[in-house]
Amino acid sequence: MAFDIGIALTWILFIALFPIAFIWLRRAFKIIVKRDFSEVALKRGEPPPDPARYAVMAGLINLVGGGLILLAIGLVVFGQAEYDVWSALAGVTIWCKVIFDFALGRHAHNFGKRQDKPAK
């Protein structure tokens, strides 16, 4: 039996969906239910001045992203989708989640505008 790189990458993508979904849904739970805003709209690891203002949007981004990844996992497990369908769903979801988190973080931090430094 010869090693097929395509099958190996398919398995890697599928197995990677489990921790991705777990992390995103856990983050949504922390934001929405526990009201922990420490991971809301981060920019260079720092939350914005008013993270509660962006908590709903960050929670929804994580909840929808985690839900769509769970949908992709379910489609594979129950044999309801071909490789092209579930891999496209997972890939687009991952990229959109990354882009939306980035945009929210930049919006929450005033698009990179520097805060006035106190006068000396």
Distance (Å, whole) CA 74 – CA 55: 28
Q: Convert the pLDDT of each residue in 54-108 to its tens digit.
A: 999 999 999 999 999 999 999 999 999 999 999 999 999 999 999 999 999 889 9
Query: 109 — phi, psi (to 5°)?
Result: -100, 25
Token pair 């006068």 is found at 119
Phi and psi angles of residue 43, each rounded to the nearest 5 degrees, phi first? -135, 115
Domain range for 73: 12-34+53-110
- Count of structural domains within the chain: 1
The pLDDT value recorded for residue 109 is: 86
Tell me if 85 is assigned to some domain: yes
Answer yes or no: is 76 within a domain.
Answer: yes
Task: State the Cα–Cα distance between residues 9 and 105, nearest whole angstrom.
Answer: 31
* pLDDT, tens digit, 9 for 90 and up, residues 104-119: 988 998 865 665 566 6
pTM: 0.85
Assigned domain for 45 exists: no
